[in-house]
Amino acid sequence: MRTGFKDMVQQDIRNAFLNPEEFGERHTVDGKEMDVIIDGNELVRREAKYKTMAEGLHTKQLLIYVSGEEFGELPLIGRLLKLDRKYYVVTDVADEGGMYSISLEANES
């Protein structure tokens, strides 16, 4: 049986990119355990905006990658997403060939 390109991409997402022995880490996303890549460096490269806030407050920004197949429907911008025990607002999303990149933001003191 021949494997199509899309099938090979999905296998690479699971077996290489999100594999905890390679790049992925196990996290809880909206109550569901899944392999995630948290990438602070790529967010900087994407020129994320840093917001000026009241004294003593700053914005924490994260970029995560998850399997679209495992995550489900692409989240809407502005929606709350719980990563482990903390809530973040989704500020940007993209489906990159079956791998979702999701930019998150939360206010911290």
pLDDT score at 92: 94
Judging by beta carbons within 10 Å of its beta carbon (0-12, 13-18, 19+), is residue 90 exposed, middle or buried?
A: middle
Residues in the chain with pLDDT < 70? 1-3, 5-23, 40-57, 109
pLDDT score at 20: 60
Domain that holds residue 45: 5-108
For the full predicted model, state whether its pTM sits above 0.85: no
Domain count, the chain: 1
Please tell me the distance from the alpha carbon of residue 101 to that of residue 68, in angstroms, as a whole number: 9
Tokens 């206010």 sit at which residue?
Answer: 107
Torsions phi, psi of 66, nearest 5? -140, 160
